[in-house]
């Protein structure tokens, strides 16, 4: 029997991102605050009991299917099955810009781990899925766990957090930024003092920043210009290593007024920050 499951694959923002050191393997140690957005991709999984294998209904331009984080997550999970699993066709509606610092690929991987764990009746725990996900990317565990969180290490040591669920204008300046390039820049700040967090950590925007921002502004004038424009209306910041930037607003209407006045040619969206992932909300409704 064919079964179909459609699930959201939301974006994340790094409300702040501090680089506090470097591990012996060269990876940077971070302190960051992750919050989800009620905006993202959608993925539909259809089991094909008569046709084994993992298939994408459509490829993503520029990403070989074997490299697609959806396929890599599905294969990693299949390797954990103790008996053969039914085939699956996976269809992706992509809305999130790739390589934008919104974690779209990591979110697609996490949604796939949770979806196929359910459809294949594997009963792996969230702990086990987060561990599997970390091998695919540093941002996958927070999407698997599904609660806004303060992240340490490379972002995998997570403490649930409850930042205000404000509205955001997210803009995508017209440039692509490679994460590895930013982390290898000589001028990058790598020694921000560690901050301590209380259990009900909410974040403190005034005492935090994104340590990648200075380097990114210098290398990408498009990001600098967009940040200057958005900062006229309130605090504006880079997410991850960019290229997306965000401005925070207390209401949807305040965010939409600014969105409507954005310079022509720039893309993006308006979304609400949420502390429970839309993916986990949907999975709870299905139970």
Ligand X SMILES: Nc1ncnc2c1ncn2[C@@H]1O[C@H](COP(=O)(O)OP(=O)(O)O)[C@@H](O)[C@H]1O
Ligand Y SMILES: C[C@@](CO)(OP(=O)(O)O)[C@H](O)COP(=O)(O)OP(=O)(O)OC[C@H]1O[C@@H](n2ccc(N)nc2=O)[C@H](O)[C@@H]1O
Q: Which stretch binds ligand X (CB under 6 A): 63-71, 74-82, 148-156, 166-174?
A: 63-71
Nearer to ligand Y, 63 or 254 (CB): 63
Nearer to ligand Y, 113 or 122 (CB): 113
Cα dihedral 121→123→124→126 (10° resolution): 110
Place of tokens 């960019």: 242
Least Å distance, CB 158 to ligand Y, is 12
d(CA 180, CA 49): 40
Least Å distance, CB 19 to ligand Y, is 8
Total Cβ atoms within 10 A of residue 122: 18
3-state DSSP call for residue 118?
A: helix
Out of 104, 141, 146, 173, name the contact with ligand X by CB under 6 A. Answer: 104
Residue pair 278/10 in contact by the 8 Å Cβ criterion: yes
14 is an interface residue for ligand X by CB under 6 A: no
The DSSP bridge pattern shows strands 245-249 and 236-238 to be antiparallel
Q: Which stretch binds ligand X (CB under 6 A): 97-105, 162-170, 183-191, 266-274?
A: 97-105
Task: Report the sign of the C-alpha dihedral through residues 155, 158, 159, 161, in that order.
Answer: positive
Which partner, ligand X, ligand Y, none, binds residue 98 by CB below 5 to 8 Å per kind?
ligand X
Nearer to ligand X, 60 or 119 (CB): 60
Residues numbered 241 to 270 that lie near ligand Y (CB under 6 A) are: 241
d(CA 270, CA 158): 27
3-state DSSP call for residue 194?
A: coil
d(CA 154, CA 58): 32
Specify whether 287 is catalytic. no
d(CA 213, CA 209): 8
Q: How many residues does the chain have?
A: 287
138 is an interface residue for ligand Y by CB under 6 A: yes
The annotation status of 107 as a binding-site residue, yes or no, is yes
Specify whether 139 is catalytic. yes
d(CA 259, CA 214): 24
What string marks each residue from 98 to 117 as x (binds ligand Y by CB under 6 A) or -?
Answer: ---x-x--------------
Least Å distance, CB 100 to ligand X, is 5
Binding site for ligand Y (CB under 6 A): 14, 26-28, 30, 32, 101, 103, 137-139, 154-155, 179-180, 183, 240-241
Binding site members? 97-107
Binding site for ligand X (CB under 6 A): 60, 63, 67-70, 96, 98-106, 108, 240
> Which residues are part of the catalytic machinery?
12, 139
């Amino acid at each position: 029997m064919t079964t179909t499951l459609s699930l959201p694959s939301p974006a994340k923002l790094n409300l702040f991102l501090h680089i506090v050191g470097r591990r012996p393997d060269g990876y940077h140690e971070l302190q960051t605050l992750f919050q989800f957005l009620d905006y993202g991709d959608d993925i539909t999984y259809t089991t094909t009991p008569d046709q084994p294998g993992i298939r994408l209904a459509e490829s993503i331009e520029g990403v070989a299917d074997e490299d697609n984080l959806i396929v890599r997550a599905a294969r990693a999970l299949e390797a954990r099955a103790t008996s053969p699993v039914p085939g699956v066709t996976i269809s992706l509606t992509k809305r999130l810009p790739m390589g934008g610092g919104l974690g779209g690929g990591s979110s697609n991987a996490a949604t796939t781990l949770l979806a196929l764990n359910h459809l294949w009746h594997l009963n792996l725990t969230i702990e086990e899925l987060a561990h599997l996900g970390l091998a695919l990317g540093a941002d996958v565990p927070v999407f698997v766990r599904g609660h806004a969180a303060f992240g340490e290490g490379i972002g995998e040591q997570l403490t649930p957090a409850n930042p205000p669920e404000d509205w955001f204008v997210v803009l995508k300046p017209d440039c692509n930024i490679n994460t590895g390039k930013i982390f290898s820049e000589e001028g990058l700040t790598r020694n921000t003092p560690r901050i301590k967090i209380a259990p009900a950590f909410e974040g403190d925007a005034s005492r935090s920043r994104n340590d990648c921002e200075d380097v990114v502004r210098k290398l990408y004038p498009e990001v600098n210009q967009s940040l200057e424009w958005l900062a006229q209306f309130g605090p504006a910041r880079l997410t991850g290593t960019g290229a997306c930037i965000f401005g925070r607003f207390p209401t949807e209407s305040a965010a939409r007024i600014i969105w409507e006045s954005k310079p022509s040619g720039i893309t993006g969206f308006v979304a609400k920050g949420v502390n429970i992932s839309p993916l986990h909300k949907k999975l709870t409704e299905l139970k």
